[in-house]
Amino acid sequence: MGNRLEEKVAVVTGSTKGIGRGIAVMLAQEGARVVVSGRDLHAGHEVAQEIRDTGGEAVFIQTDVTKEDNCERLIHTAANNYGSVDILVNNAGIFPRGDILETTEELWDEVMSVNLKGAFFCSKHAISIMKAQGKGSIINIGSGHGYGGGSNLFAYSVSKGGLLTMTKSLAKAYARDGIRVNWIIVGWVITPGEIAVREAEGHDEEWLKQQGKRNPFGRLQTPEDIAHVVVFLSSDEASQISGAEIPVSGGWVK
């Protein structure tokens, strides 16, 4: 256990599995009190228990980020339980395939609701608390698709582009309130979500790992690769960093 985040309270959306889970675990290992959140009650309690079993502090609050009342409850319960909200990681995300012709209104709305509206709701309620505290760090989990798009990830790419704009806009608006807002450009990470998408395309996990060898650093990334940078951006070591676009993309240069 480290102590770089001692006394800090962190909320991580979509932390029942994948990158979010890895982030929640590592924030706790650095001494943060962590609020694990997501829709899956069983998996969420398991992650929080795993953190407590290894000496950390965590609770799980069931949250669907597409609903504002859920996000408001998440942030306010975290503040009431632990006394502050110092770190918010907007990680919850979905990445269904489809070009514009394949994108129905329903798919568009679903992707925007989780990836963009969820981050808006959670940031809005966190900022109301962080402003009163005079400090806070928001970290948005982004993607290279937020810049160049992706032919078969149309809605996803637009949602991540919006999240980048949200990052810049909030970083500018709340610097004087001591609130930092940053964006991590994630590359290609092996997660349950990524495996499920590839399986739906007819590929197994082994195929995915083989494809990962094409990455400049020769392997797929892990949730921990991302979590290390989230810890840094959450910590006081990053106190002069806001509005930054940090590539943690396994050597891909955009």
Ligand X SMILES: NC(=O)c1ccc[n+]([C@@H]2O[C@H](COP(=O)([O-])OP(=O)(O)OC[C@H]3O[C@@H](n4cnc5c(N)ncnc54)[C@H](O)[C@@H]3O)[C@@H](O)[C@H]2O)c1
Catalytic residues: 156
- Residue 104 CB neighbours (<10 A): 10
Alpha carbon distance 163, 243 (integer Å) = 12
Q: Is 17 in the site for ligand X (CB under 6 A)?
A: yes
Give the nearest distance from C-beta 102 to ligand X in angstroms: 18
Give the nearest distance from C-beta 72 to ligand X in angstroms: 14
The residue count for the chain: 254
For residue 124, the number of C-alpha atoms closer than 13 Å in the C-beta half-sphere is 14
Give the nearest distance from C-beta 184 to ligand X in angstroms: 9
H or E segment and range at residue 60: strand 57-62
- Give 31 or 145: the residue with its C-beta nearer to ligand X: 145
Residue 108 burial (10 A CB sphere; 0-12, 13-18, 19+): middle
Q: Is 18 in the site for ligand X (CB under 6 A)?
A: yes
Give the nearest distance from C-beta 223 to ligand X in angstroms: 7
CA distance between the termini of the chain = 35
By CB under 6 A, name the one of 2, 134, 192, 218 that touches ligand X.
192
Q: Do the Cβ atoms of 118 and 71 come closer than 8 Å?
A: yes
- Give 129 or 189: the residue with its C-beta nearer to ligand X: 189
What would the x/- binding string for ligand X be over residues 195 to 234, using CB under 6 A?
A: ----------------------------------------
Alpha carbon distance 206, 224 (integer Å) = 20
Residues between 50 and 79 that touch ligand X (CB under 6 A): 63-66
By CB under 6 A, name the one of 167, 191, 234, 242 that touches ligand X.
191
Q: Token pair for residue 88? A: 């918010």
Q: Do the Cβ atoms of 207 and 146 come closer than 8 Å?
A: no
By CB under 6 A, name the one of 29, 30, 87, 91 that touches ligand X.
91
Q: Is 162 in the site for ligand X (CB under 6 A)?
A: no
Q: Is 161 in the site for ligand X (CB under 6 A)?
A: no
Residue type, 126: A
Q: Is 96 in the site for ligand X (CB under 6 A)?
A: no
Residue corresponding to tokens 């806009």: 169
Q: Do the Cβ atoms of 191 and 19 come closer than 8 Å?
A: yes
By CB under 6 A, name the one of 9, 75, 92, 170 that touches ligand X.
92
**Per CB under 6 A, which region of 75-83, 93-101, 166-174, 175-183 contacts ligand X?**
93-101
Strands (E), 104-252: 136-143, 179-186, 245-248
Q: Is 194 in the site for ligand X (CB under 6 A)?
A: yes
Q: Is 250 in the site for ligand X (CB under 6 A)?
A: no
Q: Is 94 in the site for ligand X (CB under 6 A)?
A: yes
Positions touching ligand X (CB under 6 A) are 13-14, 16-20, 38-40, 63-66, 91-95, 114, 141, 143, 186, 188-189, 191-194
